[in-house]
Amino acid sequence: MVPTQYYLVLSAILFGLGVAAFVFRRNVITIFMSIELMLNAVNLSFVAFSQSMPATNAHKLDGQLFVLFVIVVAAAEAAVGLGIIILTARNRQSLNVERVDLLKL
């Protein structure tokens, strides 16, 4: 029997690690992967909340459906985002986010 709290704390830790990766890394692909990590952390708490509801509750499965929608949106985001990454890498010859500074003063 695992308390729901444990899952939620794990979700918070994974989200924090995703934020840290987002801040530290300079490679645009790794930054993109850290976004996926944060989405996964949120999914974990969605499922934990959903499964902790009593079986009689009519909205018990809503959280798991939200997870499915999040996964679909993440897949669409990955497709478009990686297309943008390929385009910028082709134009700039670099994957470093600091080299993409056209809008910088």
Q: Which of residues 58-87 bind another protein (CB under 8 A)?
A: 60-62, 64-65, 67-69, 71-80, 82-87
Asked if 1 touches another protein (CB under 8 A), the answer is: yes
Residue carrying structure tokens 């993109």? 32
Return d(Cα 70, Cα 82) in angstroms, integer: 18
What minimum distance in Å lies between the beta carbon of 64 and another protein?
A: 5
Strand partners, 27: 96
What minimum distance in Å lies between the beta carbon of 21 and another protein?
A: 5
Footprint of another protein on 22-51 (CB under 8 A) = 23-27, 29-30, 32-34, 36-37, 40, 43-44, 47-51
Q: Which is nearer to another protein, 2 or 102 (CB)?
A: 2
Please list the helix, strand and coil fractions of the chain in percent, rounded to the nearest 5, in that order. 75, 0, 20
Amino acid at 54: P
